[in-house]
């Protein structure tokens, strides 16, 4: 499988931009923008996710090749196929990401990206170690089934991930109006990382914010409302293993304790769901504290 991975080439730029953001935060006295242990956790999780990705790459590639091989459709390596593939991959990413917040099985993998109460460029690198375990790659299999080359899909996915790095910052307010209308931006993504009731489960986009507008999950950033970042029940730990696996262990504990009729629901229902209604989902929080319910 031909596959160009741009991620290693982007890492030096990531480092330079993090240094620049730290200096900006220091100079503007935003001393809550970074915290040393939180940064260590984010970067450690990022490093671990690279290792996890390397371990899983062969299997994922083989599965994509297998699906592509049985498909009668072939799009090929035309220039326009790259454009179409990037857009289609971004749509697949939207649904993967939405499932990552609305289905606890996928949330168990994705939650560590949200477990920081800080929002800075290092948070962007706080990536999952368990994406392969969660089978997140299945969201991209339809792309190879409709004829896109597996290598093209993986390259586009990597560029999508790289795009999302720069939007994890408070250093940029808003971009020009036309850009905010089409692309995911720091403003849109701050909303996504917020725990404020009105912002829960909003703005799942990767590169193009139009998907959220199309599927009813868009919420603009409101001026004058301070954003609280993180997760509804904050992690409260600087233990990297706990950050990587805490939701998996909690979910499996819930499955073990649940009545037989409810066990599977703890895997596929939304985070916060409980068979006895003793917990709160994001919809319940929004109802209690105000805000629109997810359509």
Partner 1 sequence: MDGPLPLAAALLAVVALIGLARVLGFVARPLLSGPGEAEELAQTLPGGFISCRTELVSDHSGALLRDASGRIAVVAPVGAHFLVRLYDGDWSVTQAPDGQILIAGADFSCRFRLDRGAQNWFDPTDRSRSAAA
Residues that bind partner 1 (CB under 8 A): 5, 7-8, 11, 15, 18-19, 22-23, 25-26, 31-40, 43-44, 46-47, 50-51, 54, 116-118, 122, 195, 228-230, 232-238, 242, 246, 272, 279-280, 285, 288-289
CB of 182 to partner 1, least distance (A): 31
- CB-based contacts of 182, cutoff 8 Å, min separation 6: 208, 209, 210
Sign of CA dihedral 119, 120, 122, 128: positive
Sign of CA dihedral 61, 62, 63, 68: positive
CB of 252 to partner 1, least distance (A): 16
Comparing CB distances to partner 1, the nearer of 67 and 232 is 232
Comparing CB distances to partner 1, the nearer of 25 and 244 is 25
Question: Do 7 and 125 contact (CB within 8 A), yes or no?
Answer: no
Comparing CB distances to partner 1, the nearer of 96 and 243 is 243
Question: Do 128 and 179 contact (CB within 8 A), yes or no?
Answer: no
Give dist(CA 46, CA 116) in Å, integer: 13
CB of 216 to partner 1, least distance (A): 25
CB of 4 to partner 1, least distance (A): 13
Question: Do 114 and 282 contact (CB within 8 A), yes or no?
Answer: no
Torsion, CA 18, CA 20, CA 24, CA 30, rounded to 10: 10
Comparing CB distances to partner 1, the nearer of 31 and 70 is 31
CB of 15 to partner 1, least distance (A): 5
Comparing CB distances to partner 1, the nearer of 270 and 280 is 280
Give dist(CA 96, CA 233) in Å, integer: 23
Give dist(CA 123, CA 235) in Å, integer: 14
| 107 HSE (CA, 13 A, CB side) | 24
CB of 88 to partner 1, least distance (A): 26
Comparing CB distances to partner 1, the nearer of 186 and 271 is 271
CB of 267 to partner 1, least distance (A): 21
Count of CB atoms situated within 10 Å of the CB of 178: 8
Comparing CB distances to partner 1, the nearer of 209 and 283 is 283
């Amino acid at each position: 499988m031909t596959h160009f991975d741009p991620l290693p080439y982007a890492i030096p730029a990531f480092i330079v931009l993090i240094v620049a953001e730290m200096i900006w935060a220091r100079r503007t006295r935003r001393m809550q923008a970074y915290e040393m242990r939180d940064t260590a956790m984010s970067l450690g999780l990022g490093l671990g996710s690279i290792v996890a990705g390397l371990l899983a790459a062969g299997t994922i590639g083989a599965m994509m090749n297998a699906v592509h091989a049985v498909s009668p459709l072939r799009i090929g390596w035309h220039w326009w196929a790259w454009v179409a593939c990037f857009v289609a991959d971004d749509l697949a990413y939207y649904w993967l990401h939405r499932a990552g917040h609305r289905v606890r099985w996928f949330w168990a993998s994705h939650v560590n990206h949200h477990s920081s109460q800080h929002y800075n460029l290092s948070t962007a690198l706080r990536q999952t170690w368990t994406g392969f375990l969660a089978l997140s790659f299945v969201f991209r299999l339809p792309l190879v089934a409709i004829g896109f080359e597996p290598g093209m899909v993986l390259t586009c996915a990597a560029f999508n991930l790289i795009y999302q790095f720069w939007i994890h910052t408070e250093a940029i307010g808003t971009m020009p109006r036309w850009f905010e209308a089409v692309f995911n931006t720091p403003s849109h993504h701050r909303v996504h990382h917020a725990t404020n009731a009105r912002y829960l489960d909003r703005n799942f986009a990767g590169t193009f914010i139009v998907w959220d507008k199309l599927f009813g999950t868009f919420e603009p950033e409101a001026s004058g409302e301070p954003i609280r970042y993180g997760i509804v029940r904050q992690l409260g730990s600087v233990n990297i293993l706990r950050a990587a696996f805490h939701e998996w262990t909690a979910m499996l504990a819930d499955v073990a304790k649940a009545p037989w009729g409810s066990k599977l629901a703890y895997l596929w229902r939304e985070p916060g769901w409980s068979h006895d209604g003793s917990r709160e989902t994001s919809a319940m929080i929004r109802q209690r504290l105000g805000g629109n319910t997810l359509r």
